[in-house]
Amino acid sequence: MISKQLVSKSKLSTRCFAFVAFSLGLYALLAKHQSALAQDFYKDKTIRFIVGQAAGGGYDTYTRTIARYIGKYIPGEPTTVVDNMTGAGSLVAANYLYNNAKPDGLTIANWNSALVFNQAMGDVNVTFDARKFGWLGAPSKSVPVCLIMGFSGPKTLDEIIKSGKTLRMGGTGPGSHSIDMPLMLNKMLGSKFTVVSGYQGTAQIRLALQRREVDGLCTNWDSVLATQKDLLDSKGDERMIPFLLHAKVSEPEGKGIALVTEAIKDEANLRAYRVYMAQMEYSRPLTVAPGTSKERLEILRRGFKATLADGDYLAQANKLKLDVNYVSGEEAEKWVSEVLSISPKMKEELKYLSPVK
């Protein structure tokens, strides 16, 4: 009797093992088939890149350069097109991707990572959940900089604060540091900036500076080098002068400029500033719509990573003065999670930056 039971159990174990092996083999076959389908999907297709800022600025320059080279690193070598979808500091583009774009991996949007902070602060105009986007990654980490035109008068942070002069800073939309940084400096350092907002991008703010509609702006250092270097090199009233940097830079134009983290003396203000600036760790991110298949997202992630290591891309980026600092999709997801985990106390401290009143 015992012998028969042992034989029966042995047969059952063999059958279970065979069933598990068959199931695993079938799963592997299906996964391989799905991967092959994803690889074939992009053949004869066009990937549309949406830039949330106006043509001629840093977002636009980065995206067009990436779009130029990424096709050869995606199986099927799809073609690419770039469209600018401006409005509310790239919020229009981010909302469109989340709510209207098909989750087919054929639409990639580049928008301001500061909008994740807006979501954390409860901005009702944000109609997306950043955790649900497919994150390809980001082409750089940003170093914010504030600059003033020669015609405005004061030329250093110390002179600006001591003068007590009201200076007009050009801004894009709510959530961008073109608006938030002057407000933070007012609160934390005692400056008296007013923000003239509504510009579609830094290219438009540049025109406003040259027309003397505004006195300065806060933007990204790499964007200044890529699109406004001639203003840095100008003389007298037409020169654009950096007076405050988020972090040290290697370029000679940034030497000796005051650093925000050294200028802010109050520890609570410094903590708040650092929480806000987490967005700079994944600057100008590339994302696809929620629901995009994991296979297609992985293909795009691999293609994006390979593009940023491509020799021709690097040569072009160097020519355009674009900083290349690859941030993976997984890293971007980590930063998004951190920003959205902001404490209620910190929200209270930073609520003056939020559009929600």
| Amino acid identity for residue 291 in this structure | G
Residue finishing a domain among 278, 295, 320:
278
Q: Which residues pair with 140 in a beta bridge?
A: 283
Mean pLDDT of the chain: 90
Closest CA relative to residue 227, chosen from 32, 30, 58 = 58
Check whether residue 124 and residue 151 sit in a common domain: no
Range 323-336 average pLDDT: 96
Query: Are 310 and 270 members of one domain?
Result: no
Measured CA to CA, the distance from residue 237 to residue 133 in angstroms comes to 45
Together in a domain, 134 and 148: no
User: Is 27 domain-assigned?
Assistant: no
- Are the C-beta atoms of residues 54 and 204 closer than 8 Å to each other? yes
CATH of the domain at 290: 3.40.190.150
**Whole-number pLDDT of residue 38:** 61
**Per DSSP, which regions of 27-171 are E strands?**
46-51, 79-84, 107-110, 134-138, 144-149, 167-170
* CATH, residue 220: 3.40.190.10
Q: Measuring CA to CA, how many Å separate 264 from each of 59, 246, 258, 269?
A: 29, 11, 11, 7
pLDDT at 25: 54
Cβ–Cβ < 8 Å for 144, 177: yes
Pairing of strands 216-220, 167-170: parallel
User: Does pLDDT of 350 surpass 50?
Assistant: yes
Which strands sit side by side in the sheet containing 79-84, from one edge to the other? 79-84, 46-51, 107-110, 286-288, 134-138, 327-328
- Note whether 154 and 272 are same-domain residues: yes
* 327 and 267 in a common domain: no
CA geometry: angle at 212 spanning 86 and 240, to 5°? 85
Same domain, 175 and 243: yes
Q: Please give the residue that has the higher pLDDT: either 29 or 312.
A: 312
pLDDT of residue 36: 56
Residue where a domain stops, chosen among 278, 309, 330: 278
* Residue listed under structure tokens 């699109």: 227
pLDDT interval class at 79 (50, 70, 90): very high
CA distance 345 to 272: 10
Q: Which domain holds residue 261?
A: 144-278
Q: Does 270 share its domain with 174?
A: yes
Position 22 in a domain = no
Please provide the distance, in angstroms rounded to a whole number, between the alpha carbons at the two ends of the chain. Answer: 80
CA angle 338, 341, 346 (to 5 degrees): 110
In this predicted model, what pLDDT tens digit does every residue of 154-182 receive, in sequence order? 999 999 999 999 999 999 987 788 999 99
Contact at 8 Å (CB) between 332 and 139?
no
45 and 56 inside one domain: yes
CB-based contact 174:250 (threshold 8 Å): no
Predicted pLDDT of residue 176:
85
Among 227, 260, 278, the domain boundary falls at 278
203 domain-assigned: yes
Phi, psi of 101 (to 5 degrees): -75, 145
For the chain, what is the domain count? 2
Q: For the segment 256-308, what is each residue's pLDDT rounded down to a tens digit?
A: 999 999 999 999 999 999 999 998 999 999 999 999 999 999 999 999 999 99
pTM: 0.79
